[in-house]
Structure 1
């Protein structure tokens, strides 16, 4: 019984090359689409402009650190809770606190927060929390302290 040999022709080589590079290009386009359709990765819109305020931001951070405040964050159900104490462990009342609640990888569930006092030095805000990783960025001020900024990262379990 005679075996028939198949010959490798130019058409076969061309088909293999087109298939190989077609898969590579297809995967690259898919990855580029997925990368573009999710979170951009940007923290600020213009890094150069943001860098111009670095010295001011550093001074604010040092002034904030010098306050010696102890700030604790917690969440339960659909509420966020923040507790403020000064360096002498005195509860801090009379703060105006606003914040942004954000997902770490998308902006589709971002929420603006307004905290209200619920006790001495304790502030609370409603929030819609789905399972996953979140960040809450707060800004607080009072008659005596014009600026306090802090970011908390936390995980909501199912």
Structure 2
């Protein structure tokens, strides 16, 4: 029906440009995917591993001192109706007496995305009871980090996984 078209001969130049185009597309897509992956999740827990390793011995001593104090610190998280959350911390010493006068700070950390972390300031509302609010926090898994300090020195640190509905 239709006359047969003469086929183009395959030349070395055609093969070369086809190979360059193919690998150019593959390399270009890989570069774009790597860049997007690094921007969205850098994969690091700390900014500098060297600095973290230098502070390691101090962290061990701080943890041992915290363990020796044998404080009982309980944290509770309650959701509010408007998408917020209330954090309440109750601190008692090794004899069960309320601990007053500390400065507690809370932090909700998203395990998958550091950009979503949210700090919560806790104020003492009663003897040994500290409370703070997070105005808007998304549902899902969070790490609740609670730090207690006095005179600029951290005396207590706790990190617990919580599930917010």
Q: TM-score range by the shorter chain?
A: 0.7 to 0.9
1:136 matched to 2:144? The reply is yes
TM-score (norm: length of structure 2):
0.72
Using the alignment, how far apart are the partners of 1:99 and 1:39 within structure 2?
24
Using the alignment, how far apart are the partners of 1:131 and 1:18 within structure 2?
48
| 1:27 CA displacement | 6.2
TM-score (norm: length of structure 1):
0.74
Name stretches of at least 5 consecutive residues in structure 1 with no aligned partner.
1-9
- 2:131 alignment partner, SS class: strand
Match of 1:111 among 99, 109, 118: 118
Using the alignment, how far apart are the partners of 1:155 and 1:29 within structure 2?
36
Does structure 2 retain, via aligned residues, the 8 Å contact 1:68–1:86?
yes
Kindly report the root-mean-square deviation, in angstroms, between the aligned alpha carbons of the 2 structures.
3.2
Report how many aligned residue pairs link the two structures.
156
Does structure 2 retain, via aligned residues, the 8 Å contact 1:93–1:120?
yes
Match of 2:162 among 149, 154, 158: 154
Q: Structure 1 residues 93 and 40 mapped into 2: Cα distance closer, same or farther (>3 Å)?
A: same
Query: Partner of 1:51 in structure 2?
Result: 53
Using the alignment, how far apart are the partners of 2:115 and 2:77 within structure 1?
20
